[in-house]
Structure 1
Amino acid sequence: MKKSLVAVGVIVALGVVWTGAAWYTGKQLEERMAEMIGNANTELNKASPEAGLTLSYQDYHRGLFHSSMQVVIKPTAGAQSAFLKPDQSVVFAETIDHGPFPFAQLKKFNLIPSMASIRTVLVNNPTTKPLFDITKGQSFIDAQTRVGYSGATSTDIELLPLNYENGEEKVAFSGGQFTADVDGEGNKLALSGEAKSGLVNTVNQYGQHVQMTFNGVKTDGSTQRSEFDERVGEQKASVEKLAIAVEGKEMAVLEGLTLNAKSDVQEDKKHLSGQIDYSIDALKVQNKNMGSGKLTLKVGNIDGAAMHEFSKIYNAQSQKLLADPAVAENPEIYQQKLIEVFAANFPLLLKGNPVVTVAPLSWKNDKGESTFNLSLFLKDPAAATGEATTPEQQLDRVVKSLDSKLVIPMDMATELMTQVAQLEGYKEEDAAKLASQQIKGLAAMGQMFRVTTMEDNNIVSSLQYASGQATLNGQKMSLSDLIGMFGLPGTDVPPPAPELEAPAPAAPQQ
């Protein structure tokens, strides 16, 4: 009997502790909600100022074990959003299970104490109604977030499969699963996940049936905020296959498309560096394999403080543009103004004397590989003295040195142009003849203007520049002479053109 009473007492005591802890964590979460929403807005503004969006929350109701609220995404006051109209909003319903052991978390046998577990779903409103029509009334997004006592969050995001048909329009999507982890200060972010497949059928402005499909979309990586308030880290993304068909005929296919972007703070703790790698395993146009390509772009010696200043100015001026309806409502003017903002503030990015490297940009087919390599050392124009009165002086204010080389194998280029000619309707034999003449003519034209040379059946062009002196294909000259080679007044007459080849095959009748 006494043992039974003790057991009951323990259960009652645990119940009191559980109730008190749940009430406390619910209250703590409520007190931190404004801070968490504020951090999210700061991050959104830094990552995508042109979006013109703001997060807020409403209808917070705190209970003993559960709370609820809504998170609202709407256009920023006074700004024109690129995604939502002034009267539109996207609303998410949040159901919050209080810690230290939220019920939703226990269902997954996760016994790590946490402040809360939050389920997020989309709310059906006038803005999101078309999506709910496709999903037959279900939320397209279903996310489960664990909130730790440090404020760190771990979110599992599930995107609902879609299968929608309306006349000649069709949307199909396999669904997707993604995971996002953010630390308590919002400094470290990790994102990974995948979506297996998707399809969109529609009719374009010419009445043609267009189908786009994708397979195997994946992303994985993590970033953290540096001491310069800029994110550094690595993020990978890939698509196994992306295809476009018109009237049932496959027009273009991209296979093995990958992107790997990474950045870091250099050893001196003052500069940033970054690298972007792109690659395509195969580009097929109307069932013809046009080849594969890759690009490696590196940037180093970016002054961290200057980068931060550039970001602040660029973001502020971008938002100012969005606040002007005459600019924000005209995409062409908006893009032009953004370019002007970037160009006006670009000298800030040169403060650290950055280095840009392309090693390589290449395209490859069965007959060979064309490559372009570049090494460009830049200078801070603010460090220059005196007035720049000549082209050399103006260029030397921003360029310390340049070294570049282009190599195009004749056989590779001929094979590529043969395939292009066949796509235009030429028969294989005629396409090969036409391509051969085109590439030989291109090589002759390059030599005539001294822009290229021939080396081992390759079209080659190299250019170096430093301190007002240029070297083009081994020939030294001043910058003025180099500019003059491209047809400006005062240039020498080029040497006579080489002997012409036989006429190209006639174009096929359309």
Structure 2
Amino acid sequence: MDYDRMKKSLVAVGVIVALGVVWTGSAWYTGKQLEGRMAEMISNANAQLKKASPEAGLTLGYQDYKRGLFHSTMQLVIKPTDGMTSAILKPDQSIVFNETIDHGPFPFAQLKKFNLLPSMASVHTTLVNNPTTKPLFDIAKSQSFIDAQTRIGYTGDTSSDIALLPLNYENGEQKVAFSGGQFNADVDGQGDKIAISGEAESGLVNTVNEYGQHVQMTFNGIKTDGSSARSEFIERIGSQKASIEKLAISIEGKEMAVLEGLVINAKSELQDDKKHLSGQIDYNLNSLKVQNKDIGSGKLTLKIGNLDGAAVSEFSQKYNAESQKLLADPAFAQNPEAYQQQIVELFAANLPLLLKGDPVITVAPLSWKNAKGESTFNLSLFLKDPATATGEATTPEDQLNRVVKSLDSKLVIPVDMATELMTQVAQLEGYQPAEAAKLADQQIKGLAAMGQMFRVTTMENNNVVSSLQYSNSQVTLNGQKMPLSDLLGMFGMPGTGAPEAAPAPELETPAVPAVPAVPQQ
């Protein structure tokens, strides 16, 4: 070997050695840095868990941290919070995850996926088989149901690929099958921004209910996608979409109900003034079949705007603090019904806080559609802060005016659509098609006549219609103006008087017919 070639070889060896030293030193440094930040990361996670879901009564911790040169290991532990009753775990239960940590700047696990971006660590997470999680291991063939790989950046941001393993379990008449699923979660270093997406292809559960009947539930095509950011007023604002292609339930081999194309889309955001919040949730169902009868499809769009951010924050703090006290009270831990009652009373007591921004609620629309038409309900409700009212509320008008600025609503039910729906319902009850159609026609005409008799509804183009507006103590019901007391009197509520019922309109069936007994099947 000549001198030049030897020189080049020595240089190459020197470069390799230098790279090895740098790699080793970097791995040692990032491992130590990660260990130093672990307590802070766990503390932040618990603060967020307590704030976002105090009723869970859970605390996250870690144990058995062992740092090596290139790898470290530890366990994450989820257990009930001391002094609180967990809604998920009993005092002696815990969920434990094994964490295998490859140190940066280029973790081996990350290089396997050809990800060449420098990072502090790559963490492999699996579930530990203990008395709490043993049933899950039993149906997952003794494997960890959860297998996650998380990349931790030097800024603290994380990106996780989470795999839910397939399940296939049978024990007598019990059966569970699951295709598995893939989910992704990205979180920035401060925990301010979170993005979650993923899907699961299919699943099946066979069981026997309390009546000894064989029940089967199946689903196909579950998906979710969304992101959120921390807000100074509420825990998070953002959007999340969830959908399921098909959900079916059968009993004793007979299909009872099938839902197709169910989509839920929710979002919340700050308004332009950065002081108020708004939110919207959309529901859409493409098809509902009950015992092979096409019941129809439905949708709902519910919006709420102009929520005062500071008031919402105060409401959240008070509600969370008081609910945690209830969870810590042994008396309520042993009495779920009393706990629920206290929660409702707690919400009602703090509800005036949510009215501080003069919020607006709209339903546009709530609808149900079948082959014969579509029924719709629309609502626009402008509320106001009762704390701004003056004087004493001595009448129903005074009481309502303290919280309601205006209301505008309208209900439209096509007669043919309603008749078709009631025909399907009657057939489900055991009536033959011709008999069910006749009964449904009588019922809808009778109800329409009753609505007109009490001036609650009118007939327009073969539609049953009801509209109600309210503002400044003045009510307009189906185009007729009246004081609020008259409206209350129509329904037997306290008021200053009740108007006489209008004469019944002349329809084919002026009264509600008696409903015959359901025939034996």
Could you state the TM-score of these two structures normalised by the residue count of structure 1?
A: 0.98
2-structure distance, mates of 1:325, 1:247:
42
Task: Return closer, same or farther for 1:451/1:108 CA change in 2, 3 Å cut-off.
Answer: same
SS of structure 2 residue aligned to 1:415? helix
After superposing the two structures, state which structure 1 stretch, 374-383 or 319-328, moved more.
319-328
Deviations 1:355-376 (A, max 9, x none): 0010000000000000000000
2-structure distance, mates of 1:336, 1:416:
36
Partner of 2:439: 434
- Flag structure 1 segments of 5+ consecutive residues without an equivalent: none
SS of structure 2 residue aligned to 1:77? coil
SS of structure 2 residue aligned to 1:81? coil
Task: Report if the CA contact (8 A) 1:433-1:504 is conserved.
Answer: no
Task: Report if the CA contact (8 A) 2:174-2:208 is conserved.
Answer: yes
Q: In structure 2, give the amino acid aligned to 1:333.
A: A
1-structure distance, mates of 2:513, 2:217:
43
Deviations 1:376-432 (A, max 9, x none): 001011111221111111111111000000000000000000000000000000000
1-structure distance, mates of 2:172, 2:503:
63
Partner of 1:285: 290
Deviations 1:205-257 (A, max 9, x none): 11011111111000001111123243111110000001110001010111000
Task: Report if the CA contact (8 A) 2:450-2:511 is conserved.
Answer: no
Task: Report if the CA contact (8 A) 2:269-2:277 is conserved.
Answer: yes
Partner of 1:269: 274
After superposing the two structures, state which structure 1 stretch, 233-242 or 484-493, moved more.
484-493
2-structure distance, mates of 1:240, 1:110:
34
Partner of 1:121: 126
Residue 183 (structure 1) aligned with residue 188 (structure 2) = yes
2-structure distance, mates of 1:119, 1:57:
15
Residue 413 (structure 1) aligned with residue 418 (structure 2) = yes
Partner of 2:302: 297
Partner of 1:56: 61
Residue 27 (structure 1) aligned with residue 64 (structure 2) = no
2-structure distance, mates of 1:478, 1:461:
18
Deviations 1:436-467 (A, max 9, x none): 01101110111111111111100000011111
Cα distance, 1:501 vs structure 2: 7.1
1:50-449 map, 5 Å: 50-449=55-454
Q: In structure 2, give the amino acid aligned to 1:100.
A: P
Task: Return closer, same or farther for 1:50/1:300 CA change in 2, 3 Å cut-off.
Answer: same
1-structure distance, mates of 2:64, 2:191:
25
2-structure distance, mates of 1:371, 1:484:
27
1-structure distance, mates of 2:123, 2:55:
29
Which of 487, 507, 510 is residue 518 of structure 2 equivalent to? 507
Q: In structure 2, give the amino acid aligned to 1:66.
A: H
Partner of 2:3: none
Cα distance, 1:73 vs structure 2: 0.5
Task: Report if the CA contact (8 A) 2:51-2:235 is conserved.
Answer: no
RMSD: 1.3
Task: Return closer, same or farther for 1:388/1:52 CA change in 2, 3 Å cut-off.
Answer: same
Cα distance, 1:9 vs structure 2: 1.0
2-structure distance, mates of 1:317, 1:217:
36
SS of structure 2 residue aligned to 1:137? coil
Partner of 1:461: 466
Deviations 1:29-70 (A, max 9, x none): 111111211222222223222111111111111111101111
Task: Report if the CA contact (8 A) 1:156-1:180 is conserved.
Answer: yes
After superposing the two structures, state which structure 1 stretch, 146-155 or 479-488, moved more.
479-488
After superposing the two structures, state which structure 1 stretch, 113-122 or 130-139, moved more.
130-139
- Flag structure 2 segments of 5+ consecutive residues without an equivalent: 1-5
1-structure distance, mates of 2:324, 2:309:
23
After superposing the two structures, state which structure 1 stretch, 44-53 or 289-298, moved more.
44-53
Task: Return closer, same or farther for 1:143/1:418 CA change in 2, 3 Å cut-off.
Answer: same
Task: Report if the CA contact (8 A) 1:437-1:504 is conserved.
Answer: no
2-structure distance, mates of 1:68, 1:508:
68
SS of structure 1 residue aligned to 2:390? coil
SS of structure 2 residue aligned to 1:10? helix
Which of 18, 37, 45 is residue 23 of structure 2 equivalent to? 18
Task: Report if the CA contact (8 A) 1:430-1:505 is conserved.
Answer: no
Q: In structure 1, give the amino acid aligned to 2:264.
A: L
Could you state the TM-score of these two structures normalised by the residue count of structure 2?
A: 0.96
2-structure distance, mates of 1:41, 1:502:
61
1-structure distance, mates of 2:377, 2:334:
39
2-structure distance, mates of 1:48, 1:39:
14
Residue 491 (structure 1) aligned with residue 498 (structure 2) = yes
Task: Report if the CA contact (8 A) 2:456-2:478 is conserved.
Answer: yes
Cα distance, 1:502 vs structure 2: 6.8
Cα distance, 1:106 vs structure 2: 0.4
Deviations 1:160-196 (A, max 9, x none): 1000001110000000000000000000000000000
2-structure distance, mates of 1:505, 1:229:
54
Cα distance, 1:468 vs structure 2: 1.1
Q: In structure 2, give the amino acid aligned to 1:140.
A: F
2-structure distance, mates of 1:130, 1:230:
34
2-structure distance, mates of 1:302, 1:258:
26
Residue 481 (structure 1) aligned with residue 486 (structure 2) = yes
SS of structure 2 residue aligned to 1:189? strand
SS of structure 1 residue aligned to 2:378? strand
Runs (4 or more) in structure 1 with deviation over 6 Å come to none
Q: In structure 2, give the amino acid aligned to 1:509.
A: Q
